[in-house]
């Protein structure tokens, strides 16, 4: 996942999980989880004697460390989602169009499932809907089968052989070249078939 979101005004919201702060915390979390795992293994060996009692207390302390790191990571991601929504809504557009993504289908791909889960797409959609209702903005949801990424914004030609690895959209018919996500955002903005959330 290159970016969190691309807007039709040309603004791109970066993927917060690629920031140095998150990466440092993820690295720390890995170390603390390894330490917790080792403590559990020691406890299995010594749970009959007095040493096992001390190990059990250390396990509780280590668990708390891991939980705090999980909470901190979750708070950073939630805060970022809130900031993006706030920035979108404060421009007071007449409508906002989003795509209905098949998140459960994406989660089945083990290569990208962790990255998808960390993006908090469902939380983003729920909070965006609440904010849109608060500000009186129409939230349009385009069907998941609408070929937003595969359609050329310039001539409307559909490129059916577009792969996920192709980050730049190049139209064979008119020669239009643009960033894949920005092209998709323009198509979603101009889409006439949608449901109002």
Q: Per-residue confidence at 159, pLDDT binned at 50, 70, 90?
A: confident
Q: Inter-axis angle of helices 20-46 and 50-90, to 10 degrees?
A: 160
The SS3 assignment for 37 reads: helix
Write the pLDDT tens digit of every residue in 50-92: 666 778 888 999 999 999 999 999 999 999 999 999 999 988 8
Q: 196 - beta bridge partners? A: 140
pTM of the shown model: 0.83
Tokens standing for residue 168 = 């730049």
Whether the Cβ atoms of residue 94 and residue 138 lie closer than 8 Å to each other: yes
Residues comprising the chain, all counted: 197
Nearest one of 95, 81, 90 to 142, comparing CA atoms: 95
Portion of the chain with pLDDT greater than 90, in percent: 39
Report the alpha-carbon distance of residue 104 to residue 114 in Å, rounded.
12
C-alpha torsion 131→134→138→143, nearest 10? 40
């Amino acid at each position: 996942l290159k970016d969190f979101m691309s807007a039709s005004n040309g603004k791109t919201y970066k993927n917060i999980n690629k920031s140095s702060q998150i990466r440092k915390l993820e690295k720390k979390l890995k170390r603390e989880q390894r330490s917790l795992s080792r403590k559990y293994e020691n406890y299995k060996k010594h749970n009959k004697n007095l040493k096992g009692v001390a190990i059990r207390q250390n396990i509780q302390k280590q668990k708390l460390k891991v939980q705090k790191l999980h909470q901190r990571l979750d708070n950073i991601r939630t805060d970022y989602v809130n900031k993006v929504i706030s920035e979108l809504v404060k421009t007071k557009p007449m409508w906002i169009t989003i795509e209905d993504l098949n998140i459960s289908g994406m989660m089945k791909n083990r290569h990208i499932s962790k990255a998808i889960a960390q993006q908090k797409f469902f939380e983003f959609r729920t909070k965006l809907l609440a904010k849109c209702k608060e500000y009186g903005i129409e939230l349009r949801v385009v069907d998941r089968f609408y070929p937003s990424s595969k359609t050329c914004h310039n001539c409307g030609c559909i490129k059916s052989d577009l792969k996920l690895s192709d980050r730049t959209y190049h139209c064979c018919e008119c020669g239009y070249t643009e960033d894949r996500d920005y092209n998709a955002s323009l198509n979603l903005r101009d889409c006439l078939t949608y449901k109002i959330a």
